[in-house]
Structure 1
Amino acid sequence: MLSLNSTVRIVYRNPATFFGVHVTSTPLHLTYYQLSLASGQIQKFYQSRKSQRKLAVVVLGHQVPLYGGVSVLGNTQEHLNSVALPLNLTFVVRSRAFILGRLVKSKFYRRIRCSVTLHGNKLGKHLNLTDSCVYN
């Protein structure tokens, strides 16, 4: 069984000069290959034109059964410093703009996938994901 508690900080920026956007998101999934270890959700919000905001999203997994899926975690008490677990953080940010009232509606979707390596000797420390994310 695995419990995982982490916080993902995101800066959302709206560079548009004429309209604000309504922002939603799919759940943030933290996975080890195809095994989902934790998830979190961004709350809906409205971002006005030419502004930005910082979001903090809790990505939580409580008592996730592993069933032998993560073999590197077996018997880690002796060699915690040598454990390295490759994880993926994936989610989609959906922005919707109503440009002329509700007459013209534009949608902007951005898929985000971040490769994270969880090291046993760096548990509880901040990890910068700026260079490890791919935006589609």
Structure 2
Amino acid sequence: MKKFYQARNSEKTVVVHVTGEKIPLYGSGSTLIPPSPPAPVPKPKKKGGLVKLPDPPAPPAPVPMTLSFVVRSRAYVLGKLVQPKFYKKIKCDFNFEHKTLSKHLLITKNCTVTTV
């Protein structure tokens, strides 16, 4: 996030996009791999014989993830003479599902903010 100035009597909302790439999942990544293609259907040996189709593979289970970070801010009260610092710890819980891996996730509803 770039630096910005905010007047004392105003409120400003900053939108930040968090991108993760090549994040290790420590043992849970195997459930996110798409299932292998189904086995070929065997041909019946006799005419009119029933062929049992293989069961479809179970969908992979969602992988729970926790995103935690700290937002630091600083204010100049009397110029640069007094500089109070403010820290907010943000923790977001969400689930990665196989269907939504390539889509954006809105995590605003699953976050808790704590003042440190």
What's the counterpart of residue 53 of structure 1? Answer: 14
Q: Structure 1 residues 103 and 85 mapped into 2: Cα distance closer, same or farther (>3 Å)?
A: same
What's the counterpart of residue 110 of structure 2? Answer: 132
* TM-score normalised by length of structure 2: 0.62
Q: Which moved more, 1:90-99 or 1:124-133?
A: 124-133
Give the distance between the partners of 2:108 and 2:94, measured in 1 at CA. Answer: 11
Q: Say yes or no: does 1:77 pair with 2:44.
A: no
Q: Which has the higher contact order (CA 8 A, sep 6+)?
A: 1
Among all aligned residue pairs of Structure 1 and Structure 2, give the percentage whose two residues are the same amino acid.
31
Q: Which moved more, 1:94-103 or 1:118-127?
A: 118-127
* TM-score normalised by length of structure 1: 0.54
Give the distance between the partners of 1:126 and 1:80, measured in 2 at CA. Answer: 24
Given residue 30 of structure 2, which amino acid in structure 1 is its aligned partner? L
The alignment of Structure 1 onto Structure 2 pairs a total of residues equal to: 90
The structure with the largest alpha-carbon Rg is 2
Q: What CA RMSD, in Å, does the superposition of the two structures yield over aligned residues?
A: 2.6
- Secondary structure of the residue aligned to 2:65 is strand
Cα deviation for residue 97 of structure 1 reads 0.4
Structure 1: gaps spanning 5 or more residues: 1-42
**Equivalent residues in 2 for 1:1-136 (5 A)?**
43-49=1-7, 50=10, 51-61=12-22, 64=24, 69-71=26-28, 73=30, 76-78=33-35, 79=57, 81-136=59-114
**Contact map agreement 2:32 2:97 (CA 8 A) in 1:** no
What's the counterpart of residue 21 of structure 1? Answer: none
Given residue 90 of structure 1, which amino acid in structure 2 is its aligned partner? S
- Secondary structure of the residue aligned to 2:99 is helix
1:103-134 deviation per Cα after TM superposition (whole angstroms, max 9, x unaligned)? 22111100001001001122222322122111
